[in-house]
Amino acid sequence: MPSPTRPNVARGFVVPIGGAERKKRNPLILERFVALAGGNDGRIAILPTASEMDDTGPRYVELFEDLGIGSAVSLPINQRAEAEDEGLIAELEEATGIFMTGGNQLRLSTILGGTAVAKTIRHRSAEGVTIAGTSAGAAIMPEHMIAGGTPGATPTPNKVTLAPGLGLTNALVIDQHFRQRDRLGRLLAALSYNPFMTGIGLDEDTAAFIGPDGVFEVVGSGAVTVVDPSKLEYSSMGQAMRGEPVSLIGLRLHILTHGDRYDTVSRKATAGS
């Protein structure tokens, strides 16, 4: 669950990115994240835990500094014991923005889940710090994380695997590389298990900038697919056998592009100007 905020303190933006975000030519998503993180006066802490490549963290440090952040630091956490390190916690406490890289979201959940680092990320979000994550770093943001699954547009009982996420939001379930990897079916399957949430599928180079009021704006070159199950009339998930298609009647679906908005509280979509 998200950490509670203090009186008169607005929760920070939560920014899931669909992966493969532009880094050099017209990097709209990362530029806006840098601005929210304080620009020249800011400090970004990077968590490359999902990646098994040694240069992932240093590459993002260089990238964010080139985009104008005051300073950036990579916090390589590869074992659960490291996620309890007081020095790393202190770096997160000093950060004005936190960024989780792509890779394998199960590495993130199994290494960070339940640790002091995970608790600090939730705490800092409640204090107003912007938390962004790309690909695996986006998937782990909600209370319920899509850990894996198979491609295809039709939901089946075995289409998706869920695991606990960081809990930065309990209103959404998030999937990434969405259109590129044909992941509508697994998002629908996840929602059939948890029909109180809204599902968002993020295309590559596309992000949802979720504000403290629960309204998000789409930024990037692709689309965000929003699936609203709040008026779901019927689901056959409880009766379907493994591999059988699942009936879902009464869903609402929106395709949102750059500048469009969605209110996760009222569940209303609006076109950008």
* Catalytic residue IDs: 135, 177, 204
What whole-number distance in Å separates Cα of residue 173 and Cα of residue 115?
A: 22
What whole-number distance in Å separates Cα of residue 183 and Cα of residue 250?
A: 20
189 token code pair: 């399957």
Q: Residue 39 region, left (φ>0) first, then alpha (ψ -120 to 50), else beta? A: left
Q: How many C-beta atoms lie closer than 10 Å to residue 148's C-beta?
A: 14
CB 17 within 8 Å of CB 210: no
Residues with Cβ within 8 Å of residue 270, at least 6 apart in sequence? 260, 261, 262, 263
Alpha helices in the chain, H assignment, sequence order:
28-36, 56-66, 86-94, 105-112, 116-126, 136-139, 184-193
CA 192 from chain centre, in angstroms, equals 20
Q: How many alpha carbons lie under 13 Å from residue 223 in its C-beta half-sphere?
A: 11
What whole-number distance in Å separates Cα of residue 100 and Cα of residue 57?
A: 9
